[in-house]
Structure 1
């Protein structure tokens, strides 16, 4: 009898041990599945990132005037208007310095007006957007670092098709347009549609209102420069479109994000490595768009510049403008520009006869009425 009782106890103990082992096996299996899933996501992400066109620089080829914006990651964003078959000599119609505060994750954006007269690699002054045409993103980064005392080492370039695809895959964006903007957007849509191969519908009647824009329309809106403020207002529109896209992307599901990646990544060129992009993507939902503005803050648009043809945006005291840029991007109110910037500023002022203005930032930019070619 006692023997039978022990047997039952042994059986119960064995049964309990089996249940514990099964539970352990289940826990281990679940852990393995989670790890496998994570590895699959990382592998999938790396596969998708390989769709990007990577272009790496020799570190020694990037200039930075010896400065270091500690606590910030500065990235150059270029927007090009490549026409069919164009692969070189393309100017960057959109030039934005995106400064990421690595502690707060806040991103401030500073648009450099494409017609701004700045010192180029060949030692001559020219429009800011000519740097990309003559030497690609490397020369454009050096132009920004040289004239603004920045430490940019990475860039992202997108063309019209990438922006249009992103807008379409995210379901379009809502924008409030004036009467003028509707008219000019409709006109730009003709060429944008030809460049991207994508369709659109004209807005008729051409009256002010809030409209849901598709990719072609959003790109065309960002290209408008024939309204009050000219190129200055256009850069504001470009930043607004970026803000709207970020808002839509944060609300999108994974399936939608996947479609955006598949459509847009092949149209993007960047100097970031796959591992660097994965690192940045880890904090993607922590990023917050901060302030945005345009450079130069104080400027003049003379009818002519001695020795140059065409019209230019001339910084009124480049040195002072760089101080304001560092206050805006990095919160450095008492920044002292490097000797390189001071020399460029003096050379530019002597050449143009433009030394400074008394206007404040807002009145200076808003007073401009026309863009320049």
Structure 2
């Protein structure tokens, strides 16, 4: 599905559930009860999100809580949060013993089965069937057991950053230029004002204090090399900064976040679950992060458009499990993953021999001068 206007790209991966997790101190206050009523809550049937029974019984996943975070291009309070592509897809995996949280950003153009043997860009799953179909897409393609999700309206990002007093981000000269350019579109959609940052005369990297509009615009940048891959890295940078500030936030700041941001969120977590999580969440900490897939080839298909082709899906899913759950789990991909990996090889023509015979790195992020993928099918 296509979006119109500047809003198409104005969203990024605000890891809202991690923010909720890490500001657990607010749960001791009576206001939280009424504030949680502002969240848009839904219920997910765990039998309808494609969890492989072998995965459910797996000891390697028993010690982890896996959550999906979706960023949706909906506008304004009360906007429908289930009819858009999820241009942000993040998996947050919480180690229940060590309290470490790892983040995996799924590139939105990744070629996967989004449902009914339809191989398209993975962000289309949300548009076709909301959070339930998006969860099914993640579980069946990646051998995961995700049952809960958080969907955030992109406007919530600017609100959270502003409520927390802004974030300090290192930027290159090129990033300052691109961020300033993006600010105009971001401000037009959010209705917030902004001040352009003065572009340094020299090509240097320095730290800037960004408000909500600027931080959102920084995370939108897809120019200057790296395309969506570098963009997801910027997203995770902002996430880390927000979490750091949230842990030190005052009660008034947290209250403001709840009042202004909760109406822009949809989640499968019920009020009692959030209360239970809040008791000890300040002990959680952000660990490593990565983009998925790590090994890929950018390909332009005649009907599918520009896609990120995992090479191969099987190998990338193994690497994903090793990253999230350790290399000593003895994980072997399910028949479903193996089949879908073969289909993607058939569609693209790229198998695991590609990188063995190529001088390109498995996680190359190069594109042509137009910023589009140059391999065509």
Deviations 1:232-256 (A, max 9, x none): 0000111111100000001112221
Q: Secondary structure at 1:210's aligned position in 2?
A: strand
Residues 53 and 268, structure 1, Cα contact 8 Å, conserved in 2: yes
TM-score (norm 1): 0.84
Alignment-derived partner of residue 61 in structure 1: 48
C-alpha separation in 2, matches of 1:309 and 1:140? 18
Tell me the equivalent position of 1:349.
345
Work out the CA distance in 2 between the residues paired with 1:179 and 1:112: 27
Residue number among 361, 364, 371 corresponding to 2:362 in the alignment: 364
Q: Which residue of 1 aligns with 2:130?
A: 136
Matches within 5 A, 1:101-180: 101-180=95-174
Could you tell me which residue of structure 2 aligns to residue 20 of structure 1?
A: none
Larger radius of gyration: 1
- Give the Cα–Cα distance (whole angstroms) in 2 for the partners of residues 202 and 219 of structure 1: 13
Aligned equivalents of 2:191, 2:334: Cα separation in 1: 46
Q: Name the counterpart of 1:5.
A: none
Offset of 1:132 from its aligned partner? 1.1
For residues 131 and 342 of structure 1, what CA distance do their matches in structure 2 show?
A: 20
Choose which of 274, 278, 281 in structure 1 pairs with 2:278. 281
Runs of 5+ consecutive residues of structure 1 not aligned to the other structure: 1-37
**C-alpha deviation, 1:310, in angstroms:** 1.5
The answer to whether the 8 A contact 1:131-1:139 is kept is yes
Q: Partner of 1:315 in structure 2?
A: 310
1:35 is matched with which residue? none
Question: 1:98: Cα distance to partner?
Answer: 0.3
Distance 2:67 2:366 in 1: 27
Given that 2:173 and 2:199 are in contact with CA atoms closer than 8 Å, whether structure 1 keeps it comes out as no
Of 215, 221, 246, the residue aligned with 1:249 is 246
> What is the CA–CA distance in structure 2 between the aligned matches of 1:236 and 1:203, rounded to whole Å?
21
Q: Which has the higher contact order (CA 8 A, sep 6+)?
A: 2
- The farther-off stretch of 99-108 and 133-142 is 133-142
User: How far off its partner does 1:366 sit?
Assistant: 4.3
2:62 is matched with 70
Q: Secondary structure at the match of 2:277?
A: helix
SS at match of 2:355: coil
Distance in structure 1 (CA, Å) of the matches to 2:307 and 2:350: 12
8 Å CA contact 1:56, 1:271 repeated in 2: yes
1:51 is paired with a residue of what secondary structure?
coil
* Equivalence for 2:88: 94
Give the C-alpha shift of residue 206 in structure 1: 5.3
Any gaps of 5 or more consecutive residues in structure 2? Answer: 1-24
TM-score (norm 2): 0.83
Residue 320 of structure 2 is matched in structure 1 by 325
For 1:256 and 1:366, the matched residues in 2 are separated by 41
Instruction: Give SS of 1:308's match.
Output: coil
More helix by share: 1
Post-superposition offset of 1:195: 1.4
Q: Is the 8 A contact 1:115 1:372 kept in 2?
A: no
| Candidates 188, 191, 197, aligned match of 2:191 | 197
Q: Deviations over 1:148-194 (max 9, x none)?
A: 00000010111221111100000000001111211111111111111
Is 2:158–2:216's contact at 8 Å kept on the other side of the alignment? yes
